[in-house]
């Protein structure tokens, strides 16, 4: 069997696996590489050369620098200004989408979205705006902004490196700007003027209480003398229940332990502060003999006086002791009750002081595409024992899942309501691969070095513009200096590198080269030329754009660029034309993943918080894709003539 036939079979199976989604794309890419080596399509000694490819190194360096921007506070300064836009939806869209477009040009577009996503959620909550009207424009804006520079998105880096291998000269930092900026500006105008009107409005899902109904589930349960749970550890309690019911705190003799920190056995008189609905409460009573720790009248009064915990968190900046209000009853509530009792009846000497969640943090987080939680359950992850986190609820498609928590297998885009210790919450979320939504003030633990971060990045850009250093070397040097001067801790730098994307690129680069060396790319190009020999070259560029765009909506955009670059070069060779406009078409179209939530991580990240369904994306994505096509092709031919 001819080599090009084998390459087509391998790539066909690889694309099918990408679309199927049963296995993560990095595993699929690695499998394609191994099969290609076994079949002799890729020389064994060159199998892993892709991991040292300049494109891979550049992507890793950009990811580290992007995390450095977050760590140093560069984006926080911008976010503070965005929050001042007021309650007009148009101004909110302009501020959010415009900011993410600019940021995505100079940092990883997923990183830019991740930084502004909590800002968008806060705007939606403070001004009673449906988050669905803000989040899809934000995601699409991050994709548009990535078109403007070399480092804005992986396809640009891949195309630049491929051009270097073809012509001996790579695209520079701002070679993408003339086309990318015009396209981004046109897309931005479309989104804020018309596009947002095409987004389905999901009402009533902007707050934690509305999405998860948390206010109805916080209860105190008491271990009585006849309770079966007396003598059990919390782990034994969970095992007996066969359910993960979060124990937020245990109170004994006026002393309180966080649930994950309580390692002893329960005994008579202990109070358990738990998140439990009616079904869970019945289960706790039947199997563990636990009852409400206060009388019905007092419990009703406490629930009526309880302030929403998310409001307390949002007001933390203006009230230093706000974390003490995240409870069933606060000290001010107790004082008010005492004054009322003095005016009416005598205060009961036996009045019980309710347990508080002081020291615990409540946070919403969205599961990223590269999260270790995907396709795993809370039990398999050992969230409580290993990370000190309680899973309180899971929302998917904008609504709370009602099935048992222990049976839920997490998916990308799921929104989780978690509670854990303030000291380690941020680190635990980063390790798990979750993006915090409800809070932006998670402890970072390092001083801000805003000016240093900007200066280091500016020097790297200058070195690239002056051709002093290749992009991969300049950006790696900038990342190294950032680590040496303390902008970013080394451990966090390693965490910032998106492992699945690195493996995808490193594995698919040799496979993509096999498509070219086997003659497969030439065969595809010849077929296109034969089919369109009566068509003008513009028609073939439109066809190339549409194929790349559709491919990027079902597989990773970096993989789409890797596969389409050799075909574009072969088409250019068939026409005897410059390769530049063909490669630019692939660069732009590979970043136009506006039709599905699976084409790009930015789309997936907003799916859960926005309450979107799979079919919602094409409503704004299709006209936006056509607009990009109409605007970009004339600009490409103007800037990069045939």
Using one digit for the tens of pLDDT, what is the confidence trace for 110-161? 878 877 888 888 888 778 788 889 999 999 999 999 999 988 888 999 899 8
Q: Quick one: pLDDT at residue 176?
A: 93
For 370-421, what is each residue's pLDDT tens digit?
788 988 888 888 887 788 787 877 888 767 777 767 778 998 888 888 877 7
For 447-478, what is each residue's pLDDT tens digit?
457 788 888 888 988 888 888 888 889 889 99
350 band by pLDDT with thresholds 50, 70 and 90: very low
Q: Quick one: pLDDT at residue 256?
A: 79
pTM for this structure?
0.69
The two structure tokens encoding residue 124: 């939606």
101 band by pLDDT with thresholds 50, 70 and 90: very high
How far is the C-alpha of 499 from the C-alpha of 430, rounded, in Å?
14
pLDDT of residue 264 exceeding 80:
yes
- Show the 3-state SS of 560-595: HHHHHHHHHHHHHHHHCCCHHHHHHHHHHHCCCCCC
Q: Which residue has the tokens 């199998």?
A: 47
How far is the C-alpha of 287 from the C-alpha of 266, rounded, in Å?
15
How far is the C-alpha of 118 from the C-alpha of 127, rounded, in Å?
14
For 232-248, what is each residue's pLDDT tens digit?
888 888 778 766 677 77
Q: Are 546 and 622 in contact (CB under 8 A)?
A: no
The two structure tokens encoding residue 349: 């000497």
State the DSSP H helix or E strand holding residue 252, giving kind and residue range, or none if neither: strand 247-252
Of residues 199, 94, 20, 327, the one with CA closest to residue 613: 199
Q: How far apart are the first and last CA of the chain?
A: 37
- 503-517 in b/e form (b: 16+ CB < 10 A) is bbbbbbbbbbbbbbb
Q: Quick one: pLDDT at residue 343?
A: 46
Can you tell me the mean pLDDT for 62-77? 76
Q: Quick one: pLDDT at residue 147?
A: 92
Q: Quick one: pLDDT at residue 415?
A: 86
The two structure tokens encoding residue 514: 């096999």
How far is the C-alpha of 256 from the C-alpha of 253, rounded, in Å?
8
pLDDT of residue 321 exceeding 50:
no
423 band by pLDDT with thresholds 50, 70 and 90: low
pLDDT of residue 34 exceeding 70:
yes
Q: Quick one: pLDDT at residue 246?
A: 72
For 495-533, what is each residue's pLDDT tens digit?
778 778 888 888 888 888 888 788 877 788 778 777 766
Q: Quick one: pLDDT at residue 72?
A: 75
Q: Quick one: pLDDT at residue 530?
A: 76
Q: Which residues pair with 400 in a beta bridge?
A: 395
How far is the C-alpha of 188 from the C-alpha of 104, rounded, in Å?
13
For 524-555, what is each residue's pLDDT tens digit?
877 877 776 677 888 889 989 999 998 888 77
Least confident of 266-275, 354-363, 365-374, 502-511: 354-363
Least confident of 180-184, 309-313, 435-439: 309-313
Q: Quick one: pLDDT at residue 212?
A: 59
297 band by pLDDT with thresholds 50, 70 and 90: very low
How far is the C-alpha of 413 from the C-alpha of 610, rounded, in Å?
10
480 band by pLDDT with thresholds 50, 70 and 90: very high
Average pLDDT value over all residues in the chain: 78
């Amino acid at each position: 069997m001819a080599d090009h036939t084998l390459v087509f079979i391998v790539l066909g199976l690889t694309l099918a696996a990408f679309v199927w989604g049963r296995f993560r794309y990095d595993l699929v890419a690695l499998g394609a590489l191994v099969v290609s080596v076994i079949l002799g399509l890729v020389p064994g000694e060159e199998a892993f050369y892709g991991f040292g490819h300049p494109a891979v190194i550049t992507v890793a360096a950009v990811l580290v620098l992007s995390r450095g921007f977050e760590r140093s506070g560069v984006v926080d300064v911008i976010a503070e200004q965005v929050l001042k836009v007021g309650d007009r939806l148009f101004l909110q869209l302009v501020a959010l989408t415009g900011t993410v477009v600019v940021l995505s040009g100079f940092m990883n577009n997923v990183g830019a979205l991740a930084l502004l996503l909590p800002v968008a959620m806060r705007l939606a909550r403070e001004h009673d705006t449906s988050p669905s009207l803000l989040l899809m424009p934000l995601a699409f804006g991050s994709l548009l902004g990535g078109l403007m520079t070399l480092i804005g998105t992986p396809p640009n880096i891949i195309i630049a490196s491929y051009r270097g291998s073809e012509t001996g000269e790579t695209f520079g930092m701002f070679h993408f700007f003339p086309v990318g900026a015009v396209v981004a500006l046109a897309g931005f105008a479309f989104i804020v003027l018309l596009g947002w009107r095409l987004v389905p409005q999901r009402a009533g899902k902007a707050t934690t209480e509305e999405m998860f109904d948390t206010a109805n589930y916080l209860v105190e349960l008491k271990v009585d003398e006849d309770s079966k749970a007396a003598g059990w550890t919390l782990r034994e309690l969970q095992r007996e229940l066969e359910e993960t019911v979060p124990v937020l705190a245990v109170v004994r003799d006026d002393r309180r332990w966080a649930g994950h920190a309580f390692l002893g056995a329960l005994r008579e008189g202990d109070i358990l502060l738990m998140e439990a609905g009616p079904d869970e409460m019945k289960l706790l009573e039947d199997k563990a003999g636990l009852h409400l720790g206060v009388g019905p009248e007092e419990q009703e009064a406490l629930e009526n006086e309880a302030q929403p915990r998310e409001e307390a968190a949002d007001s933390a900046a203006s009230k230093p002791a706000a974390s003490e209000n995240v409870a069933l009853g606060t000290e001010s509530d107790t004082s008010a009750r005492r004054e009322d009792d003095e005016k009416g009846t005598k205060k009961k000497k036996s009045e019980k002081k309710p347990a508080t969640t002081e020291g615990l943090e409540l946070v919403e987080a969205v599961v990223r595409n590269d999260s270790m939680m995907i396709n795993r359950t809370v039990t398999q992850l050992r969230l409580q024992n290993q990370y000190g986190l309680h899973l309180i609820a899971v929302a998917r498609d904008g609504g709370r899942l009602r099935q048992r928590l222990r049976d839920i297998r997490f998916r990308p885009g799921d929104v989780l309501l978690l509670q854990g210790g303030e000291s380690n919450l941020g680190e635990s979320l980063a390790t798990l691969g979750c993006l915090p939504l409800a809070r932006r003030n998670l402890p970072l633990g390092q001083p801000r070095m805003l000016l240093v971060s900007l200066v280091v990045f500016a020097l790297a850009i200058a070195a690239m513009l002056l051709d002093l250093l290749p992009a991969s070397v300049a950006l790696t040097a900038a990342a190294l200096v950032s680590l040496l001067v303390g902008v970013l801790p080394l451990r966090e730098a390693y965490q910032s590198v998106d492992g699945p994307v690195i493996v995808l690129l490193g594995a698919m680069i040799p496979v993509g080269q096999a498509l070219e060396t086997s003659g497969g790319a030439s065969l595809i190009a010849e077929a296109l030329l034969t089919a369109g020999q009566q068509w003008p070259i513009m028609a073939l560029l439109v066809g190339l754009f549409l194929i790349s765009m559709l491919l990027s909506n079902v597989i990773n955009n970096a993989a789409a660029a890797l596969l389409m670059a050799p075909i574009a070069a072969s088409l250019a060779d068939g026409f005897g034309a410059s390769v530049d406009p063909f490669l630019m078409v692939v660069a732009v179209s590979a970043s136009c993943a506006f039709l599905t939530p699976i084409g790009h991580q930015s789309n997936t990240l907003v799916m859960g918080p926005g309450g979107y369904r799979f079919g919602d994306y094409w409503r704004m994505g299709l006209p936006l894709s056509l607009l990009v096509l109409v605007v970009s092709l004339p600009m490409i031919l103007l800037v990069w003539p045939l």
